[in-house]
Amino acid sequence: MADTATPTVIRRADYAPPAFLIDTVALEFDLVPERTVVRNTMRVRRNPDAAHAAHFELMGEQLEFVSASIDGTPHSAVRTHEHGLSVDNVPDAFELTLVSLCNPTENTTLSGLYVSSDNFFTQCEAEGFRRITYFLDRPDVMATYTVTLRADKAAYPVLLSNGNLLDEGDLPDGRHFARWEDPFRKPSYLFALVAGKLVKLEERVRSGSGKEKLLQVWVEPHDLDKTRHAMDSLINSIRWDEQRFGLELDLDRFMIVAVGDFNMGAMENKGLNIFNTKYVLANPETATDTDFANIEAVVGHEYFHNWTGNRVTCRDWFQLSLKEGLTVFRDQEFSADMAGGATDEAARATKRIEDVRVLRQMQFAEDAGPMAHPVRPESYVEINNFYTMTVYEKGSEVVRMYQTLFGRDGFRRGMDLYFKRHDGQAVTCDDFRHALADANGRDLAQFERWYSQAGTPRVTVSTHYDAAQHRYRVTLSQGYGDAAPTARETQKGPLLIPFAIGLIGANGADLPLRLEGETGASGTTRVLEFTQTEQTFTFVDIAEKPLPSLLRNFSAPVIVEYDYSAEELAFLLAHDSDPFNRWEAGQRLATRELLSLAARAATGASLQLDDSVVNAFAQVLTDETLSPSFRELALMLPSETYLAEQMPESNPAAVHTARQFVRRRLAEALKNDWLAIYERHQTPGDYEATPDAGGHRALKNLALAYLAELADPADAVRLAGAQYDAANNMTDRAAALSALLTAATAGDGRRAQEALEDFYRRFEKEPLVIDKWFALQATQRGSAQRPVIDIVRALMSHPAFNLKNPNRARSLIFSFCAANPAQFHAEDGSGYAFWADQVIALDALNPQVAARLARSLELWRRFTPALREKMRGALEKVAAQVKSRDVREIVEKALG
């Protein structure tokens, strides 16, 4: 639908309770692909806590109105309009029945009711329910639902909806029905139905209190052999939530359904989670170690929403992080516990590092651009644009800070109180904060700023050692630097920052910590409560000048500025007892070196790599006391995107030159070590999806990737070719193919070409693997003779490409535009022209997906002048042509 007028801005400050409440909803569906009839009977009453309203206003989109009746009598005082339906002359309490039609086949937005592979699916969050029936489609309207589904039995043998199955049976004309009831009150965004030809893996388990639960994973018949891992992940999630938070599954039955056309990862509909196939289907031949880990995390995430999101939901969409930040935190903790239990700090750190890397690369960038917003946004045009890194990942960091401040037990007390107070309610981020504060006897008024201030805080650290007094002073100051454009919008005051610190002695061991005023030393890591703009903490009894280990385990989502020397960073990399900070030291060292090389590359100067960097990396590489997965993370250089953002003016070409130069130098200088690592970390025998085996594969494949960088990549081609042929799992096969593609840049590309062709033939019937095939090509290095844009454009006409399928669009278009910066930002602007064409094409099909792609140029102002102008041109072209509210909000903010 075209929105030509200025789009309506929705503001948090304008929240008002709904004029009416809906207590029960009875839905009847006659499912027909082009013409589905929906009959919706609601018990409605006036909200005693709201102002009187003359009409009952219901939202509706893309619906054809058929009829209305009140208390069984046809009602004609009804008016349809652009946003839905107005019902006049309504009593204080009444039963309203509405009949309407929709067209699931034509629905390419994948919001509301749609068809994918001839089956029916729904997606209602945030505002998709109004595309199914007229409704008060807002999360503070909670009702119990009964759902009757009727459809052709041969075409749609399986009929699912939320809750428990009440009844099913045959109808005349080859049709059948199923009736479902969800006993829990829920907001409309948690409604779901699925109908079609699906099969299931099912298992019965007992919950903590001994009740039997039926668990099902529903997929298309040919995918049944890829459901075991999702089922195991679900069972582990159920156990974990019982143990860690005392939260039990509340339904008799819990279902996961996989669908190939889906806008995001998955959806937590009550009792009927609907998942992108990418986060369900896995077996060793088709899924990588990363896929296995992601499935576990997403299954956990959606399951954990059953309490954080569904039992206690959001009052309005500004509170989105109440459920998303909290649930991301819970899934991160779940994954860490699965990898390392509560005590294996090194294994837990691996997960922490991965999460922080995502936060810094994506959320910090978001916070420095035109889409910057607080964890609890103040306004939006299209709510779907606010399912962001800030709401999810920074939101999770905000929740983590409560746990850092109060400990695991204190955090648990807060959660218990939160559920005690708010079970069954639609609440706010303030309610959550108050529960945490009250349960721990604390005033957390200042902590609210984490919800209301956008931008990434910077903490500047200075230290002073008084050798005579054995005192060590640490002065912290906080602010937002000048990189936060939204500083204008929100008033900024100092935050309560839990700042974890350790002090390291010359022998590499942690020093016992005693702050001035304390009676004795305790512990070696201290969480300082940093609450003022500037604050000094004095440690006493410090017999030697220490080296500070700052913000251990990344205790707050901030940027730390401290002037470490290269030697100090190498020392921390070798000795810090905090595994996160060990990794961090290596990243700082590498970042600094890479940025100075990039600055030289930008002027065309020659490049040289400091030996200290090579030595520091060599030490990590050969340190057999470190786990393989930690070494893999430590030896991976910061991404080109992250590095470019750290430059005064982003210059992707210079960053690429610098990073490639360093990769090749590390490959050459440590060639024998890489070869040795490659041999030593083989995992012969059957594939095991364990963190340990995955760590070996990751390190081995990193070695292979470095070897592929050599000027003469013959060894890499030989090893990768053999690995490709012999692989019994997708991790190794995809890594080998990737190494062959890299080596093809320097040498002869025939082996890579053969492997690419083989890969396609082998996996032609596995859409998720073909996505990898597209993505590997879109993210490859390319060359002057064969720029990747040409390859991508050619692949757009490959018979397997389909713009309507979001996974496929992401695998080719998004991979190129967001994960191949050196090629995307080609000087001639060809990448931007391609981007503009694709945003415009997607806008007409699927605004949510288009709006995601639209975000790839939002940091345009930070680039070198030549690129900046071309980016602006592409943005203007898009702004002039797109129609959806979704994309317009993004490009208009970008052009600002």
Q: Where along the sequence are the contacts to Zn ion (CB under 5 A)?
A: 324, 327
Of these residues, 125, 296, 302, 593, which one is catalytic?
A: 302
User: What gap in Å lies between CA 181 and CA 186, rounded to an integer?
Assistant: 12
Contact between 302 and ligand B3K per CB under 6 A: yes
Residues facing residue 634 across a β-bridge: none
Q: Rank residues 108 and 535 by Cβ distance to ligand B3K and give the closer one.
A: 108
Contact between 889 and ligand B3K per CB under 6 A: no
CA 318 to chain CA mean position, Å? 18
Nearest approach, Cβ of residue 239 and ligand B3K (Å): 20
Least Cα distance to 258 among 270, 249, 247, 267 occurs for 267
Residues facing residue 67 across a β-bridge: 99
User: What gap in Å lies between CA 206 and CA 632, rounded to an integer?
Assistant: 39
What would the two tokens of residue 146 be? 């009964």
Sheet with 20-30, edge to edge strand ranges: 73-74, 64-70, 93-102, 36-46, 20-30, 142-152, 175-187, 164-170
Nearest approach, Cβ of residue 290 and ligand B3K (Å): 19
653 — phi, psi (to 5°)? -65, -45
Q: Are strands 272-276 and 253-259 parallel, antiparallel or unpaired?
A: parallel
Q: Quick check: 869 and 858 in contact, CB under 8 A?
A: no
Q: Rank residues 324 and 771 by Cβ distance to Zn ion and give the closer one.
A: 324
Contact between 854 and ligand B3K per CB under 6 A: no
User: What gap in Å lies between CA 818 and CA 862, rounded to an integer?
Assistant: 16
Stretch that binds ligand B3K, among 263-271, 538-546, 550-558, 675-683 (CB under 6 A): 263-271
* Residue 387 site contact among Zn ion, ligand B3K, none (CB < 5 to 8 Å, cut-off depends on kind): ligand B3K
List the x/- string, 332-351, binding to ligand B3K by CB under 6 A.
--------------------
Q: Rank residues 59 and 151 by Cβ distance to ligand B3K and give the closer one.
A: 59
Contact between 331 and ligand B3K per CB under 6 A: no
Stretch that binds ligand B3K, among 40-48, 301-309, 705-713, 743-751 (CB under 6 A): 301-309
Cβ neighbors of 860 (< 8 A, separation 6 or more) are: 867, 868, 871, 872, 875, 894
Q: Rank residues 314 and 635 by Cβ distance to ligand B3K and give the closer one.
A: 314
Q: Rank residues 324 and 632 by Cβ distance to Zn ion and give the closer one.
A: 324
For 7-30, the three-class secondary structure string (H helix, E strand, C coil) is CCCEEHHHCCCCCEEEEEEEEEEE
Q: Rank residues 306 and 701 by Cβ distance to ligand B3K and give the closer one.
A: 306
Nearest approach, Cβ of residue 139 and ligand B3K (Å): 11
Nearest approach, Cβ of residue 323 and ligand B3K (Å): 7
Q: Quick check: 337 and 270 in contact, CB under 8 A?
A: no
Least Cα distance to 255 among 205, 199, 217 occurs for 217
Count of residues near ligand B3K by CB under 6 A:
12
* Residue 264 site contact among Zn ion, ligand B3K, none (CB < 5 to 8 Å, cut-off depends on kind): ligand B3K
Q: Please list every residue from 715 through 774 that binds ligand B3K, using CB under 6 A.
A: none
Member of 384, 403, 731, 884 binding ligand B3K (CB under 6 A): 384
* Residue 267 site contact among ligand B3K, Zn ion, none (CB < 5 to 8 Å, cut-off depends on kind): ligand B3K
255 — phi, psi (to 5°)? -120, 145
Q: Quick check: 249 and 208 in contact, CB under 8 A?
A: no
Active site (annotated) includes residue 858: no
User: Where does 212-263 show beta strands of DSSP type E?
Assistant: 212-219, 253-259
Nearest approach, Cβ of residue 298 and ligand B3K (Å): 8
Member of 58, 102, 126, 613 binding ligand B3K (CB under 6 A): 126
Count of Cβ atoms closer than 10 Å to residue 535 Cβ = 17
Nearest approach, Cβ of residue 70 and Zn ion (Å): 37
Residue 728: CA count within 13 A, CB half-sphere: 8
Q: Rank residues 177 and 189 by Cβ distance to ligand B3K and give the closer one.
A: 189
Nearest approach, Cβ of residue 850 and ligand B3K (Å): 13
Contact between 140 and ligand B3K per CB under 6 A: no
What would the two tokens of residue 636 be? 């991976």
Nearest approach, Cβ of residue 743 and Zn ion (Å): 40
Residue where the block lists tokens 């998955």? 266
Cβ neighbors of 192 (< 8 A, separation 6 or more) are: 122, 124, 160, 161, 162, 267, 269, 270, 272, 274
What would the two tokens of residue 239 be? 């156990």
Stretch that binds ligand B3K, among 8-16, 300-308, 628-636, 736-744 (CB under 6 A): 300-308
Contact between 267 and ligand B3K per CB under 6 A: yes
* Residue 732 site contact among Zn ion, ligand B3K, none (CB < 5 to 8 Å, cut-off depends on kind): none
Residues facing residue 120 across a β-bridge: 115, 195
For 352-397, the three-class secondary structure string (H helix, E strand, C coil) is HHHHHHHHHHHHHHHHCCCCCCCCCCCEECCHHHHCCHHHHHHHHH
Contact between 268 and ligand B3K per CB under 6 A: yes
Nearest approach, Cβ of residue 2 and ligand B3K (Å): 21
Coil/strand/helix, residue 502: strand
Least Cα distance to 20 among 84, 65, 97, 87 occurs for 87
* Residue 384 site contact among ligand B3K, Zn ion, none (CB < 5 to 8 Å, cut-off depends on kind): ligand B3K
CA 490 to chain CA mean position, Å? 25
Stretch that binds ligand B3K, among 52-60, 262-270, 373-381, 798-806 (CB under 6 A): 262-270
* Residue 125 site contact among Zn ion, ligand B3K, none (CB < 5 to 8 Å, cut-off depends on kind): ligand B3K
Member of 131, 226, 301, 360 binding ligand B3K (CB under 6 A): 301
Q: Quick check: 400 and 498 in contact, CB under 8 A?
A: no
Q: Rank residues 415 and 439 by Cβ distance to Zn ion and give the closer one.
A: 415
Cβ neighbors of 12 (< 8 A, separation 6 or more) are: 316, 318, 376, 377, 378, 379
Nearest approach, Cβ of residue 383 and ligand B3K (Å): 8
Contact between 61 and ligand B3K per CB under 6 A: no
Q: Rank residues 147 and 266 by Cβ distance to Zn ion and give the closer one.
A: 266
Q: Rank residues 126 and 609 by Cβ distance to ligand B3K and give the closer one.
A: 126
Contact between 389 and ligand B3K per CB under 6 A: no
Nearest approach, Cβ of residue 316 and ligand B3K (Å): 15
Amino acid letter for position 175:
R
Q: Rank residues 102 and 322 by Cβ distance to ligand B3K and give the closer one.
A: 322
Contact between 299 and ligand B3K per CB under 6 A: no
Q: Rank residues 398 and 495 by Cβ distance to Zn ion and give the closer one.
A: 398
Stretch that binds ligand B3K, among 56-64, 264-272, 552-560, 618-626 (CB under 6 A): 264-272
List the x/- string, 304-323, binding to ligand B3K by CB under 6 A.
-x------------------
Kindly give the interhelix angle for 345-358 and 691-707, rounded to the nearest 10 degrees: 50
Least Cα distance to 21 among 78, 114, 90, 75 occurs for 90
Q: Quick check: 736 and 728 in contact, CB under 8 A?
A: no
Stretch that binds ligand B3K, among 250-258, 265-273, 583-591, 853-861 (CB under 6 A): 265-273
Contact between 693 and ligand B3K per CB under 6 A: no
Whole-Å CA distances, 695 to 214, 295, 633, 637, 859: 34, 17, 10, 17, 35
312 DSSP assignment: B
What would the two tokens of residue 868 be? 């900046």
Contact between 324 and ligand B3K per CB under 6 A: yes
Q: Rank residues 279 and 860 by Cβ distance to ligand B3K and give the closer one.
A: 279
* Residue 126 site contact among ligand B3K, Zn ion, none (CB < 5 to 8 Å, cut-off depends on kind): ligand B3K
What would the two tokens of residue 206 be? 């007992």
Amino acid letter for position 615:
N
Nearest approach, Cβ of residue 322 and ligand B3K (Å): 12
Catalytic residue list: 302
Where does this chain bind ligand B3K (CB under 6 A)? 125-126, 264, 266-268, 301-302, 305, 324, 384, 387
